[in-house]
A and B are shown apart, each in its own frame.
Chain A
Amino acid sequence: MSMSDFLPSPLTLAALIKIGLLVGGLMTAAAYLVLLERWIAAWVQDRRGPNRVGIPFTKISLFGLGQPLADGLKIILKEDFTPKHVDKILYNAAPLVILAASLAIFAAIPFGSVLPPLNIPGLPDPVPFLVAPGLDVGVLWVFALSSIAVYGVLLGGWASNNKYGFLGGLRSSAQLVAYEIPLGLGLLGVVLAAGSLKLDAIMNAQAESGIWYCMAQPLGFLVFFVASFAEAARLPFDLPEAEQELVGGYHTEYSGIRLLLFLVSEFLHMITAAFLIVIMFLGGWHFWGVTGSSQEITWLEALLRFGILTAKILAVIVFFMLVRWSWPRFRFDQLMNLAWKVMLPLGLANLVTVAAVEEFRPQLTAALGATTAGWLALAVPWGVFFVGWILAGILTPSGTDNRPIRAHDPLDIERGIREHDLAETELAGTR
């Protein structure tokens, strides 16, 4: 028996290396995004933010780049306290469920384009930047698992046996169920246009045409973007864990490393949302004049594509963080209004538009020529976008007023006295 019998096949090995890189990268990214979030929070509030911690046991501070290590160590070394009143099994399962689900999502998410040919026997070239290449239902996988991540939130809130946790879980379930629908509708338009459920195929389709789907489907982009904020439970839709109202929402009762798992998976949700926005609407690794659309590339191009994808994702995440400090949180009824009365119709309108454009594109190309048909295929969705937005603004009920509708002026004291007198006389009559 030779040594090679014990070694995994090159295919397995490649997948393992990719998993290692991805999990390590994601965990580091989550840790450094916490630092970025704290920096942006500080800068927006005219403060300096964490800038002291650097290399341990030295006085080198490196703008505070050692902060994630200190934060992580601190929270791991904290007491992991389990309150007496919790449901032990579910309480322990919740953080694991949420972290496993939010990590497993990345099996189907490409984090770059492809590698140049490696010529390793047993490993088909080109090697894609994707843990599970050839998964035909990539988009479904992502959405199925992001729904499972909701279970973590619900379990955490329920098992905590705490009213804040419970309310956080309730809000979370209602919000996530409501926003899955606009999210799915925004996604359907992209799948329809690209003709594939593979995320790498969706990126390739955008690179080949040179038109990102945020330009071809502005309404779908808007709906998906807003719904992503709600799915990631970021402000202005962070009702599941609204600190001012719910202490910490579903993770109120958690401490130590289990709280860390929740917080990490929250950041993973944000990274997932940014990945999906970039891959489906912002062209993925494509940028005009910088990266070609070919699958046969050099090492430089492969790195360039990876860099462009990462830069776009970082830009979306920074936008997420800036939004946090820009707008106040929605009230819960406003949140539901927005989901069911605005985002759902807009998503449907987008879907119909995309379907119509894709259906009639061949006829139009035959009748008007490719250029005119191409411009028309862009103009129609933009027209629908503006009309839809204005109609949504005019037709939806104004969500600012939740006071009861008054039949008369409450300050009309004389009327009050008259009513009081009338009631008195009636009372006297019955006696």
Chain B
Amino acid sequence: MKPTDPCVTWLEETPLGLAERLYLPLFIQGLTTTARHLISPKVTVSYPETRPTVGNPLIYRGVHRLNRDDQGRVKCVACFLCATACPAHCIDIVATESPWQDREKYPESFSIDELRCIFCGMCEEACPVDAIELTSLLDLTGKSREEMIFDKEKLLSVYDITKDAEPMKSTGMDTGHTSPADLGGRP
């Protein structure tokens, strides 16, 4: 962009009036602003005595959970879409043949390295059966790195803790609705 570009507006510094040259209005302005902030309510949250408020728990990207279906089984079908979508490569799935009739595979083990995770939520978006979801739990702590690798049981237990406060976004186990025909695509 050239300096002569018509989109550029050049401004001259406004000359100081007598009031500004006397420094008094600026003095009062500065001091009143300081005094106002001195007594205004504080924004710091005294964690852990008070918990920070989560704006909308349904879209907050906190600790993961693995959802259960209505029979209490893990909802995951071990399709690896989340592991593929994950930019941090923190999801590790071992798939095996499902003992149940309604799906071919299920995860024998499903672990997420919470230390590697960047909480982008792409696993949740990739999941075709809404099995993996991010909850609004935000204080994720542990005493060792090993402890921070959440396995299937732990992820399911996160679901058990949070299912009442944050209901599953879709309850059905029906995989049919993800077929291209249902979505209006070509068969």
CB-contact partner of A327 in B10, B21, B26, B41, under 8 A: B26
Minimum distance in angstroms from B44 CB to a CB of chain A: 5
Quick one: given A48-B46, A326-B31, A327-B26, are A394 and B38 in contact (CB under 8 Å)? no
In the complex the two chains form, what is the Cα distance from A389 to B23 in whole Å? 10
**What per-residue 1/0 map shows which CB atoms of B13-27 lie under 8 Å from chain A?**
101101001110011
In the complex the two chains form, what is the Cα distance from A327 to B15 in whole Å? 20
- B32: nearest chain-A partner, CB-CB: A326
A63 proximity list for chain B (CB < 8 A): none
In the complex the two chains form, what is the Cα distance from A43 to B27 in whole Å? 20
Check if B42 sits within 8 Å of A44, measured CB to CB: no
- B21: nearest chain-A partner, CB-CB: A393
CB-contact partner of A394 in B21, B27, B41, B42, under 8 A: B21
Check if A46 sits within 8 Å of B15, measured CB to CB: no
CB-contact partner of A325 in B3, B34, B43, under 8 A: B34
B residues 29-50 near A (Cβ < 8 Å) are 30-31, 33-35, 37-44, 46
The yes or no answer to A58 lying at the interface (CB within 8 A) is: no
Quick one: given A44-B34, A401-B13, A411-B4, are A393 and B46 in contact (CB under 8 Å)? no
A410 proximity list for chain B (CB < 8 A): 3
**What per-residue 1/0 map shows which CB atoms of A394-414 lie under 8 Å from chain B?**
101010110000000011010
The yes or no answer to A367 lying at the interface (CB within 8 A) is: no
Minimum distance in angstroms from B127 CB to a CB of chain A: 40
Quick one: given A322-B35, A396-B21, are A411 and B16 in contact (CB under 8 Å)? no
B3 proximity list for chain A (CB < 8 A): 410-411
In the complex the two chains form, what is the Cα distance from A40 to B23 in whole Å? 24
Total count of chain A residues near the partner, CB < 8 A:
23
- B46: nearest chain-A partner, CB-CB: A48
In the complex the two chains form, what is the Cα distance from A398 to B151 in whole Å? 68
Check if A43 sits within 8 Å of B37, measured CB to CB: yes
B37 proximity list for chain A (CB < 8 A): 43-46, 325
The yes or no answer to A428 lying at the interface (CB within 8 A) is: no
Quick one: given A46-B40, A47-B44, A400-B13, are A326 and B23 in contact (CB under 8 Å)? no
* Residue in A47, A325, A326 with the greatest tally of chain B CB atoms within 10 Å: A326
Minimum distance in angstroms from A401 CB to a CB of chain B: 6
A residues 31-51 near B (Cβ < 8 Å) are 40, 43-48
The yes or no answer to A390 lying at the interface (CB within 8 A) is: yes
Check if B4 sits within 8 Å of A413, measured CB to CB: yes
In the complex the two chains form, what is the Cα distance from A382 to B30 in whole Å? 25
B30 proximity list for chain A (CB < 8 A): 326-327
Check if A48 sits within 8 Å of B42, measured CB to CB: yes
B26 proximity list for chain A (CB < 8 A): 327
Minimum distance in angstroms from B47 CB to a CB of chain A: 11
B40 proximity list for chain A (CB < 8 A): 46
A322 proximity list for chain B (CB < 8 A): 31, 34-35, 38
CB-contact partner of B33 in A323, A326, A398, under 8 A: A326
Interface residues on B, range: 20 to 34
Minimum distance in angstroms from A42 CB to a CB of chain B: 8
CB-contact partner of B18 in A44, A45, A394, under 8 A: A394
In the complex the two chains form, what is the Cα distance from A411 to B40 in whole Å? 47
In the complex the two chains form, what is the Cα distance from A323 to B22 in whole Å? 17
Check if B42 sits within 8 Å of A43, measured CB to CB: yes
In the complex the two chains form, what is the Cα distance from A402 to B182 in whole Å? 69
Quick one: given A47-B44, A326-B30, A326-B33, are A411 and B10 in contact (CB under 8 Å)? yes
In the complex the two chains form, what is the Cα distance from A73 to B62 in whole Å? 38
A413 proximity list for chain B (CB < 8 A): 4
In the complex the two chains form, what is the Cα distance from A410 to B3 in whole Å? 9
A44 proximity list for chain B (CB < 8 A): 34, 37-38
In the complex the two chains form, what is the Cα distance from A405 to B10 in whole Å? 17
In the complex the two chains form, what is the Cα distance from A337 to B3 in whole Å? 33
A394 proximity list for chain B (CB < 8 A): 18, 21
Minimum distance in angstroms from A238 CB to a CB of chain B: 15
In the complex the two chains form, what is the Cα distance from A353 to B31 in whole Å? 30
Check if A46 sits within 8 Å of B23, measured CB to CB: no
Check if A46 sits within 8 Å of B42, measured CB to CB: yes
Quick one: given A326-B31, A411-B3, are A389 and B22 in contact (CB under 8 Å)? yes
**What per-residue 1/0 map shows which CB atoms of B77-111 lie under 8 Å from chain A?**
00000000000000000000000000000000000
B39 proximity list for chain A (CB < 8 A): 43
In the complex the two chains form, what is the Cα distance from A394 to B38 in whole Å? 34
B18 proximity list for chain A (CB < 8 A): 390, 393-394
Minimum distance in angstroms from B21 CB to a CB of chain A: 4
Check if B42 sits within 8 Å of A47, measured CB to CB: yes
Minimum distance in angstroms from B5 CB to a CB of chain A: 10
In the complex the two chains form, what is the Cα distance from A47 to B37 in whole Å? 10
In the complex the two chains form, what is the Cα distance from A394 to B22 in whole Å? 8
B43 proximity list for chain A (CB < 8 A): 46-47
Quick one: given A47-B42, A411-B3, are A393 and B22 in contact (CB under 8 Å)? yes
List 9 additional contacts besides A45-B37, A46-B44, A326-B33; criterion CB under 8 Å. A43-B39, A44-B38, A46-B37, A46-B41, A46-B42, A326-B30, A327-B27, A393-B22, A411-B3
Complex A-B: 19 CB contacts under 8 Å: A40-B38, A43-B37, A43-B38, A44-B34, A44-B38, A46-B37, A46-B40, A46-B43, A47-B42, A48-B44, A322-B31, A325-B34, A326-B34, A390-B22, A393-B21, A396-B21, A398-B15, A400-B13, A411-B3
7 tightest Cβ-Cβ pairs between the two chains A and B: A326-B30, A393-B21, A393-B22, A326-B34, A48-B44, A327-B30, A46-B43
